[in-house]
Amino acid sequence: MNPSALIAEDEPLLAAHLKQELARLWPELQIVALAPHGQAAVDEALAKRPQVCFLDIRMPGMTGLEAAAALADEWPDDGTPFPLLVFVTAYDQYAVQAFERAAFDYLLKPLQTERLAQTVQRLKAALQSQQQQRQLDLGAAVDQLRSLLGAQAAVPAAAPLRLLQVSLGNSILMVPVDEVLYFEAADKYVRVMTEGGKEHLVRVSLRELLPQLDTQRFWQVHRGTIVRADAIERAVRDEAGKLTLHLRGSPDKLAVSRMHTHLFKGL
């Protein structure tokens, strides 16, 4: 079977240019999807299982790195090799250093034919090796992505957030962050679950909220969930190896994604 690839790029002209250059350098490569944003890249990759994903870093909504992490979380445990990831980015020395340490490969904008040709040769060799090994180590891919996300994370605020100002009708409710059990993404809002079963909605994204929190106390355990660490009573692993968190004083149970299981290691 011919190798397959997905291109995720929000600028149609750049996506078309990359597709055209790949057709010239690697004629047998099948482009199975062109995704205009991160969530589309995740959906298309899960549906079509390409062997390679070219992911633009800066896309609306979910970034290329976040899309790759979501894909790693949701990739099925059925033996299908996890795709090789090539990140496409505008020149940024800090980003390049991170990619050189952890990514399979990266391409700089504007694309250079000679550099793309080198990437194609690397991909061909890796796919040949993958066929011999039968399956790419998903755990290794998760470790690489975790390293990249850590390198690209925003610098935390000097003083962690202590109070949430929550709109409630004509009032603004002051909610101490110490009373929050967990935060959960909910469309354009974040659900704030506090002690006593109270729920609030704040119009902010988890991506904006996380840098404002004390990351020693609040752990991201899923791309859509941040939990207060000392509210966790226990982490239970099921037969498939998936972790679920049980909280003190709450019936709610929280799933831990593949990207965040490293936080829970018994001593």
User: What torsion do the CA atoms of 221, 224, 226, 231 make, to the nearest 10 degrees?
Assistant: -80
Rg, the chain, Cα only = 21
> Domain total for the chain?
2
Phi, psi of 55 (to 5 degrees): -120, 120
Indicate whether 157 belongs to any domain.
no
Its pTM stands at 0.82
Give the pLDDT of residue 263: 92
Domain-located, residue 171: yes
- Cα–chain-centroid distance for residue 25? 29
Which residues span the domain enclosing 54? 4-152
Sequential pLDDT tens for the chain (267 residues): 799 999 999 999 999 999 999 999 999 999 999 999 999 999 999 999 999 999 998 898 888 989 999 999 999 988 888 999 999 988 666 566 656 655 678 898 999 999 999 999 999 998 988 654 544 567 777 887 887 777 655 555 568 899 999 988 899 999 999 999 999 998 889 999 998 889 999 998 898 899 999 989 999 999 999 999 999 999 999 988 899 999 998 999 999 999 999 999 875
Give the end of a domain, one of 152, 178, 206: 152
Domain boundary among 152, 175, 203: 152
32: Cα separation from own chain's centroid: 21
Tell whether 197 and 144 lie within a shared domain. no
Nearest to 178 by CA among 118, 212, 129, 218: 218
CATH (domain of 118): 3.40.50.2300
